[in-house]
Structure 1
Amino acid sequence: MKHIPFEEWLKYVNGELAEDVQLDYENHLYSCETCIEVYSEAISHQSEALPTPLSSTFTDDVMTLIQGGEELQSVAHGVKMSKKKKERSFVQSTIFHYAAAAGFTLLLTFSGVFQSMTGFVDNFENTAQEQRPSVTETVMNKTLTLFDEWEIKNKEANQE
């Protein structure tokens, strides 16, 4: 089994390889313990190269932004973030959707759409029942026919 070198795993971690090569490497990891260890080292090496956080209070600043909705200015990198409350129109509100659904339901109810649907279902059920006998009735008829044939054979056997 051919092992993949550390430099190639670094390229894989950085996303510098072609997609088909990445898939080959991923499939190789399923069967090679040595390459899993090398891959883990490449990930560790890459994590050391990541940049440091924006500032020491970055997490606190973001949490303040999320909770308070005020504007946040990160002095370290000049990143400006803000959370603005968007105004939604009445058409996008939940109460409008509930009112529209209730209105359509009432319209369909009073126009008779639901009544005509139940009539269609009743007609369908009646025609389905008229066309086919029930399973119990079919089994009963076959059993009676079998008994009748058996009785006729017994009478013929007794007469001979």
Structure 2
Amino acid sequence: MNHVPETGWVAYLADEIPESLKIEYENHLYSCDMCLSAYLEAMEKEESSLEIEGFDIAGPVMDSISRLKGGYIEEDKQLRKENSLRTITRHYLIAAGFTILLMAGGVFQSFTEYVDSMESRSVKETQSLTDGIIDKTFNWMDSIEKKNKEGFRNE
């Protein structure tokens, strides 16, 4: 594509050219530094001509945005609240459904039986461990007592 003249960029900025030509101009900007500088100059001239006329577009645009935003904020809050309640309700119903399925399947019953068996096993192991320690202690004390009796006899 050939370089775009400054008048072409002015027409582009004024939105006076067809959409297909706009796309060509935009694609050309990516690869041509000369046209990019011409575009920036045309933008500066367009901006300065707007300032000379005393037309301030930023103020009315910002006012309309704030008015629209204010109206949408209330609606947006209401929608978020409704969506939040729906989500919470949906999660609660899913959790309740899974709980019912697990209860019907006997999963919780098998868990309680497993825990009971583990508790009884640990109690038995603890008792046998304690009994073993007590037995060893008594055997040790008996051996000391025997040695003392034998030692007194030999003297």
Q: TM-score, normalised by structure 2?
A: 0.44
Q: Which has the higher contact order (CA 8 A, sep 6+)?
A: 2
TM-score (structure 1 length as normaliser): 0.43
